[in-house]
Chains A and B, each alone.
Chain A
Amino acid sequence: MGVKLESKPISKLGYINYQEGNIYYVFHQGNETCAEAALLAGCDFYGGYPITPSSEVAEVLSRRMPQEGRVFVQMEDEIASMASIIGAALGGAKSMTATSGPGFSLMQENLGYAVTAEVPCVVVNVQRLGPSTGGPTSPAQGDLMQTKWGTHGDHPIIALSPTSIQEVLELTIVSFDFAERYRTPVVLLMDEIIGHMRERVGYPRKQDINIFERKKYLEPGEDYKPYSLDYDSDVPPLLSFGEGARYHVTGLIHDEAGFPTLNKKEVTEWYDRLYRKIDKGLDRILLYELYNMEDADTAIISFGISVRVGLEAMQKARQKGLKVGMVKLLTVCPLPEEMLRQVISGVKKVVVPEMNRGQLVLEIDRLNKTGVELIHVGTSDGEIVRPEDVLKALED
């Protein structure tokens, strides 16, 4: 039993080069850290609307962005917030907004626009309980499927989910890299506990961060097509407005030059490239860590704060002699399907703790081709999943 697979931790990307002696340690909250990390990643523009439990991101940036000569604006609602960060990104800015469930619902419209027009931006969703106004502001992890499918029409999207405050810092920086590198919105999927919890965080210096910077300017004689099919990466550069390229951007399906089209061939080419650019990046995009999987006959698979619960349950189970391993998913959209298939087919039982009524577990079930026993340990009452409940599922 067990699987021998390598982890793909954030450090493997090589984006942050922590220099001993040049790490600044602070006792920080998740939302504060997200804001500071955005500054480190070079965020030039923040447009947002207040909503608990994400408001600290906006509050910190309203103070910090002007200090750095960058733009903070409070918009009239979340629809406008999402629109403003797309507009800013087209002007060449690295842009971000932060919200929670109800606001994330309002953002879906223009999130789809950013996918379609391929505009890089970072959307932070600090999840709270329930649909509608729900249970403010108890924690939950109920927006996983909305992150994947929230905006209408088939589309790929990237979402990352931190499990600690240090990972909030790192994944915020990674979010900006992925957004710029793949010309796509990236969702940083936090939850109320991660957003409001305080932990010791080690901040690197700005010069120790090395992430993707987009090409912004037209070269002399360049025949620029913003949606060209001619790039090996399938990600044409996004030149900034005002720099001579004078191209068209639309939420309509468009041809290589950006003009609306319903020509079947052009529509298919566009759609294929939209998916292909993410598929080609999967090796970089998919981040996860495996614990004790080499000899495990039972696997816990989870994301976000529930990973911490899973790790606790794993340790207790190991003390009792059970061979339990853990998969921590850092990239939750798209999922590392190949790795998960191998894990699932290499064990007798899979346990999925998550603070919802069953979302990640549906994806795991879809990948479970060998009929391995699959147990969901969920909560939807605003309380974190308890390690004892996970342990019970492991023992049963």
Chain B
Amino acid sequence: MERTAPLIHDMLRPNKKFPSVWCPGCGNGIVLGCLLRAIKAQGIDHNKVALVSGIGCSGRMPVYADFNTLHTTHGRALAFATGLKLARPDLHVIVIMGDGDSLAIGGNHFIHTCRRNLSMTAIVVNNKIYGMTGGQCSPTTPVDSVATTATYGNIDQPFDISHLAAVAGAAFVGRSTVFHVRELENIISQGLNKKGFALIEAISNCHTYFGRMNRIGQAPDMLKWMKDNTAPVLMDPEKRKDKVTRGVFVDKETIGFLQHYEQLVEKAIKNKELLKQWKQKREHKDDEAEEQAG
């Protein structure tokens, strides 16, 4: 694992704006750390990373990172990212969202982005609650959990983010927690390398609201909960029953939207000179991408 101090100087913006907006002990910092180490490990040029986010606590992540950063509207990060990636296939487009952001208001964009299978990496920071607005119930709040909009306990069935992404057609789906830092970093790394859409669910803690209201405790208690209540997906199903699984659930070889589109263009372009120019432009971009990947 990369030491922290050089990473901060290398990957975070020197001019902005610490301390962060997050509560002490928040998992968002851990997710950001994992992402930055993964980007560094892959040797991706900062100029070619676009970090896109939605609204919520996790949405503030891009402001700190020294990339091309885009803080969008609530739930729409994937749609902004789709336009950006299609216009600029040479960029590594990485999307950070929360559970409410990506699955409630952004649920439609979420399933369709999985289906479209454009090469981007999306991380959903799942803390099972709306943190920024003050602890309201989200689409991943478990049944019977308490939230400020579920004072008698939540009666809505929660989404399983990873399974939803898998059935919607994502090429890569993985899940870990902010307790399992190395594993999370490793899964993000795999996602960054994937051709097609990669979705990573990072289970995180909101001790300020979820932990306090549900009497789980402070940040360390919530991390301990992650340690005790999750298990690797490769473990014997008998032993891991009733536990939340971690690991890589989907890792498909797919052609991806961009390559499909390139094939379509080659069929459609009638002007031979234009076709030649277009191919050269694309090859040039591929070369650049390969160079960055080292």
Contacts and interface: CB of A to CB of B under 8 A. Distances in A.
Given A84-B86, A95-B87, A246-B68, A68 B274 contact: yes
Interface in A31-77: 44-45, 47, 63, 66-69, 71, 73, 75-77
A84 B73 contact: no
Contact of B84 (A81, A90, A251, A259): A90
Contact of A79 (B52, B68, B79, B267): B79
Contact of A87 (B66, B87, B270): B87
A80 B270 CA distance: 30
B71 A249 contact: yes
Q: State the main secondary structure of chain A at its contact with B.
A: mixed
B112 A80 contact: yes
Given A67-B268, A67-B269, A87-B79, A250 B71 contact: yes
* B16, B50, B267, most chain A CB atoms within 10 A: B50
B233 to A, nearest CB: 30
A252 interface: yes
A110 interface: yes
B208 interface: no
A83 B76 CA distance: 7
A69 B281 CA distance: 10
Given A91-B83, A259-B17, A83 B72 contact: yes
Interface string A193-211: 0000000000000000000
A4 B73 CA distance: 48
B280 to A, nearest CB: 11
B155 interface: no
Contacts of A246: 46-47, 66-69
B84 A241 contact: yes
Interface string B258-290: 000100110111110011011001000000000
B90 interface: yes
A86 B80 contact: yes
A86 B83 contact: yes
A189 B67 CA distance: 37
Interface of A: 44-45, 47, 63, 66-69, 71, 73, 75-77, 79-81, 83-93, 95, 109-110, 113, 240-252, 257, 259-260
21 contacts: A45-B87, A66-B261, A66-B269, A69-B265, A69-B269, A69-B275, A75-B82, A79-B76, A80-B79, A80-B109, A89-B83, A89-B87, A92-B88, A241-B68, A242-B48, A242-B90, A242-B91, A246-B68, A248-B70, A259-B63, A260-B71
Ranked 5 nearest A-B pairs via Cβ = A87-B83, A84-B83, A83-B79, A91-B87, A66-B268
